Amino acid sequence: MGPKRVLVVSTAVGGGHKAAARAVEQAIAERYPDVAVRNIDVLDYASRPVAHTYAWAYHFTAGKAPIVWAMVYGGTDKPLVSGVNQENKPPFYTIFDPWIYRKFFREIDRFKPDQIVCTHFLPADILRYYKNKDRLRAGVSVIVTDFGPMHSFWCSPTADRFFVATEEARHQLTHAGIPPERAIVSGIPIAPVFATEPTTDAIAAAREWLGLKDKRPTITIMIGGWRTGGVGQMAEALLEIDKPLNVVFLVGRDAAVEAQMKARTWPDRLNVTVQGFTDRMHDVMRVTDLMVTKPGGLTTAECLASETAMAVLFPVPGQEDRNSDWLLEHGAAIKAQSLTALSYKLGDLLQDHRHLTKLKEAARAQGRPDAAYRVADAVCDPQAEATPAP
């Protein structure tokens, strides 16, 4: 008999973990309507000082002090062996977890899930306290949201099952003693709409929404969260490309950057659209030939699923560096070390249609648009349930 209640748990450190959680929630609700599914952020159930510090520390170091983040990321990563996560965890966390996350444990007791799906390693790590007290009755799955070699923190001894993006990550887990049937290459869950083949009318509607002109390549640039100066430098870099283009700037919720970009005057060869936060990324991806972006796990998964070539820029040290290396190894991206290099590489790529086509073909070969459904089926299908970990 399949589960009656599934709790999906994310952590608000980067939007990708929460997006993956939403994707799994949507896939379960759509495919298994008799299953009660709930999606929460574990930091909403932590003590306020810890929740604030945890999220702030990541965003500050990764965004403002990347050298520090690189040292933390590399210094805490250990060769994957059985129990490595337990060795990594400072002992004072274990002592104070029952108090820091007491609201989280109460929510588990209230909801009584049969399965818990974690899109970040933190909730799986916290659940070790419950498991050690023999109070954990649910199966636990961990979804790894990176493409490159996975950090050892993901290898939680609490997990009964892992969902990973690549065969390499699966090899890491089995090498660490995880039984092969508990390491599933599902891909990174993205919104289920990506698994739907777009119609001609849907593509035409997306092009009209973004104001794209026919017969021009379309470059989409994700600049949400960039510093204003960097955005201006990106605009100057585009002016160096002497070719008619559609250019879509995705600026997220940064009103100042949106106003700055809309106020600029662009030459006729550049048909520019500035778009704020949108929940229509599937439409953006479907009409984009080349995405200029940092290689976060979810963005990368969406590009691959949409057969969209990538130009990688300014990856966060650690997980995004590894994602970048993976994309280059599989021929699905180009990488620029600076904005000056980017303008040259974009210009060169847009003149070489065969190279751009090869990038798109590589993306298609690696894409898993149905990843959310794969996870939903494995979690909710009785025949796919993993044997509880010892």
pLDDT digits (tens, 9 = 90+) for 13-39: 878 999 999 999 999 999 999 999 999
CATH number of 197-366: 3.40.50.12280, 3.30.470.20, 3.40.50.2300, 3.40.50.2000?
A: 3.40.50.2000
What DSSP state is assigned to residue 207? H
Give dist(CA 312, CA 164) in Å, integer. 22
Name the residue ranges covered by the structural domains of the chain.
Answer: 5-190+369-384, 197-366
Q: Do domains 5-190+369-384 and 197-366 have the same CATH topology?
A: yes
User: How far lies 280's CA from each of 193, 225, 267, in Å?
Assistant: 10, 18, 27
Q: Please give the radius of gyration of the chain, using alpha carbons only, rounded to the nearest integer.
A: 21
Residue 288's pLDDT is what?
A: 96
| Site of tokens 């989409």 | 220
Residues 6+ apart with CB under 8 A from 72: 61
Average pLDDT, the chain: 88
pLDDT at residue 227 greater than cutoff 70: no
Fold of 5-190+369-384: Rossmann fold (3.40.50)
**Tokens in use for 227?**
């510093």
Torsion 154-160-163-166 (CA) sign: positive
In this prediction, what percent of the chain has a pLDDT beyond 70?
Answer: 91
Residue 205 binned pLDDT confidence (cut-offs 50, 70, 90):
very high
What DSSP state is assigned to residue 337? S
Residue 91's pLDDT is what?
A: 41
3-state helix vs strand vs coil in the chain, percent to 5: 50, 15, 30
pLDDT digits (tens, 9 = 90+) for 311-360: 998 888 899 999 999 999 999 999 998 888 988 999 899 889 999 999 99
